[in-house]
A and B are shown apart, each in its own frame.
Chain A
Amino acid sequence: MKTHTPLSFARFWAIVIKEFVQMRRDRLTFGMIIGIPVVQLMLFGYAINGDPKHLPTAVLLADSSQQGRALLSALKNSDYFNFVREVHTEAEGEAALARGEVQFIVTIPVNFGRNLLRGEKPTVLVEADATDPSATGNAIASLRTLLNSALQHDLKGALAFLAGSDPPINLRVHARYNPEGISQYNIVPGLMGVVLTMTMVMITGLAITRERERGTMENLLSMPTRPLEVLLGKIIPYIFVGYIQVGLILVAARFLFHVPMTGSIPLLLLTSLVFIAANLAMGITFSTLAKNQLQAVQMTFFFFLPSLLLSGFMFPFRGMPEWAQVIGEVLPLTHFLRIIRGILLKGNGFEEVMLQLWQIMLFAVIVLAVGVKRYRKTLD
């Protein structure tokens, strides 16, 4: 006697049909299934470039000889270097490098042309912002050939002896801020921003949707409370949680990875506050938009993915095409990475930090304004 079959096709088919119906009703999940491969294809296929070119470069030209200018024009014409400005003092160059405006400073010393012609092998100094070693590696490698070939044109006839196998100039490269090119120095501080982005957005993303799903929203709305009270009240506790994460990562960075901490830690903690708040505001705004907790998590993921890929965490920011950089500039993580690397590795102070920080603040204010507007005071 057969009381039950181990596998009934009818029952199995009933589940299949039900799943399809539910999938069709859940538009956002379906959108993600389509959207995520598209976004990833675009980002990995087009935006990500492990060999960044056209890096902004400043030149300190202390010699006006023909040979000096030949070098300059060679830099201007190269793929790797994008000549953006000429600086006139070392301090000016230093500041541009600290603010992250330029990736390189090329110094052509006084009497470069004369010393070259005398066969004294003048020294060309290249200072590179090496906080992210992968961003500068290839450019530096190409530099020597570039400089030599630039001079080939001039070193003809009577000067041909200078163009021999022995290079006519000395090239000295200073990898600034991270001289040994240790990638952890770049990644570990960056990780703080990445972890905060993921957890802070998600944790508040669930905050309002949880109330709605559990039915407590109706009760909350029937009490005399204003949207800003609810939204801020839900943000503050998680700032505390964010600081626990900041503390953990800083301790690990210091004692496990020996990341240099050149700048002011209090300044870093202060800027972290703004960054944490911006991400919490993003989460709470997702929370007002999402219908349920699942959607909130999905939205978090949609925000996290570009943050991870377009902020300069995984790939050098300057290796991305223009459009990807424009998107990246909007994201708080992009600016926070510059801040934290700036403070820890470059020893940036308040002034340099503010250049990035105001953009995070602006993001937070706009996002929170959307959240307050979207927060429904009624059940309509």
Chain B
Amino acid sequence: MTESFVIDVRGMTKRFGDHTAVNGIDLQVRRGEVYGFLGPNGSGKTTFIRMLCGLLAADAGEGTCLGFDVIRESESIKRQVGYMTQRFSFYEDLSIAENLDFVARMYAVSNRREAVRESVERLGLAGRQKQLAGELSGGWKQRLALAACLIHNPRLLLLDEPTAGVDPKARRDFWEQIHELAGQGLTFLITTHYMDEAERCDRLAYLSFGNLMTRGTAAEVIEGAQLTTWSVFGPDLQEITRQLRSTPGVGEAVAFGSRLHVSGTNANVLERAIAPFRTERYIWQQIKPGLEDVFIHLMGNSKDNFSA
């Protein structure tokens, strides 16, 4: 059964003192899948990834990652995982080639020189390989980090907010590369805050305050939330937002560009609640809820355990 799952863990838990950062999370990821990991800051995404690759010792949980025991065999897991940290964590005072060479040596990559040369070429940095990593722009740093994570031919890539602070064009290129690699059988677990990126994932999991709120394909996640959403267009949306938020029956009222999305879990209750606001000043339209509507809804539902 574990053959088909690259990641198959149950009950993964991590506590920091009284604070439970990750609370009994189960996760199954298939080979060649691009799995999106979403949730607000501090929801436990990074902690979960760090437990997977042995950077943090789990307090509870069991299962396998790449067929190895996730608790006891982290040394073996590390050898076949590429982990891209949230913050650029290669050596800024080493050149591009030197960084790649260092990583290749750490993983005892055979044909090291060849691997480094190919990697530099694939990056399109052949002419700049002697440039210091610290001098690169955000987008190039990200590409270097990905190249370094790939140099030992890992079977699983754990990418922690790989596209934070990267321009839209570079983000697009990055995702194309990820799908290409996934097509070759590489498995990805990626955390992101961007909805367009979430939509490009094969499947998603949404975390909030250490709890897994929902998972599945984008369609399944939306379906599962059973949300009714209305789009509002008109003048003075600020004011109507404020009023709607204090109206019983309205779950969320959130600005989406120039429009307002008003959601609730009970279609009838919601329709009654918004009735007084449906004047001719505003254009009301029921729409199919998107991922972001669902996530905002989930975020509102989960209780904040920071204040606990």
Contact = CB atoms under 8 A, between A and B. Distances in A.
Q: How many of chain B's residues touch chain A, expressed as a range?
A: 20 to 34
A263 B54 CA distance: 53
A223 B53 CA distance: 9
B55 A218 contact: yes
B194 interface: no
Nearest to A379: B55
A293 to B, nearest CB: 15
A12 B8 CA distance: 57
B220 interface: no
A223 B85 contact: no
A219 B90 contact: yes
Contact of A222 (B53, B87, B91, B92): B53
A223 B103 CA distance: 8
Nearest to A226: B75
A219 B56 contact: no
A214 B103 CA distance: 17
B57 A223 contact: no
A231 to B, nearest CB: 15
A41 B103 CA distance: 50
A223 B107 contact: yes
Contact of A214 (B54, B92, B106): B92
Contacts of A217: 89
A171 to B, nearest CB: 65
B56 A379 contact: yes
Interface in A1-48: none
Contact of B57 (A218, A222, A225, A378): A378
B20 to A, nearest CB: 15
Contact of A224 (B50, B78, B88): B78
A380 B50 CA distance: 10
Contacts of A378: 54-57
Interface of B: 50, 53-57, 75, 78-79, 81, 83, 85, 87-92, 103, 106-107
19 contacts: A214-B89, A214-B92, A215-B87, A215-B89, A216-B89, A219-B83, A219-B85, A221-B55, A222-B53, A223-B106, A224-B75, A224-B79, A224-B107, A225-B106, A377-B54, A378-B55, A378-B57, A379-B56, A380-B56
8 closest cross-chain pairs (CB), A and B: A219-B89, A222-B83, A224-B78, A223-B106, A215-B89, A215-B87, A224-B79, A216-B89
